[in-house]
Structure 1
Amino acid sequence: MRQHLRRICLLLAVTSGFGTSSALAADADHGADLAKRWCASCHVVANGQTQASADVPSFVSVARRPDFSPERLAFFLLDPHPKMPNFPLSRTEAGDIAAYIASLR
């Protein structure tokens, strides 16, 4: 129950920071810089990247998922999860990375 409540609070915090136009408010260029710095060791984050882990999705494949949502992705990035390293992202940084991934659609 406590974990469920924490997830709800995080979701409310993330989505309230985005408003109705999160992709417009977020900085996709900054998100690209963050992704290249923090995510490229595991994910293919940009065209021309030659190396990444084989068992993780590229950012393009994440962006093209039918259920993709920048808000949900930002929430996912803020919530600690076992398969990814725990990067201390701010809400703004998570939104910027999500906006960058959305730009790859």
Structure 2
Amino acid sequence: MFDTLPPGRSGRGAVAGFAILMAICGAPLHPAFAAADAAKGEIIAKRWCAACHVTAPDQTTANTEAPSFASIAARTTSAASLKAFLTDPHPRMPNMSLTTDEIADIVAYLLSQRRP
């Protein structure tokens, strides 16, 4: 599918763009995005994200420049946008080479941090 990409491109951006397009069109996402496990996401977040982000209400320290998961959840409009972001992360964020299942799990956990 990605064999027509320019040299040096991984296709991750194309996958993210496709996920956003499908979300905008109302099409169902890949099953890996649909079946997410917040408990698994919490484990992954504490392992990979907690050094920079406050990932849980009981966490007391993190990088002051990185937004907390609660803050991200409060201003996020859709799970699809978070999934797309984690598929092709912002340059300041390390590329952790997460699988689509891990991304879906992290997003489910992150969105569980929303305050009612």
The residue number in structure 1 matching 2:30 is 17
The residue number in structure 1 matching 2:109 is 100
Task: Give structure 2 stretches of 5+ with no counterpart.
Answer: 1-5, 23-28
Higher gyration radius (CA): 2
The letter of the residue matching 2:46 is: K
The residue number in structure 1 matching 2:92 is 83
- TM-score, normalised on structure 1? 0.80
Q: What is the alpha-carbon root mean square deviation over aligned residues? A: 2.6
* Paired residue total: 100
Higher helix share: 1
* Runs of 4 or more consecutive aligned structure 1 residues displaced over 6 Å after TM superposition: none
- The percent identity for this pair of structures is 45
8 Å CA contact 2:69–2:113 kept in 1: the answer is: yes
The residue number in structure 1 matching 2:77 is 68
1:36 to 33, 41, 46: 46
Task: Give structure 1 stretches of 5+ with no counterpart.
Answer: none
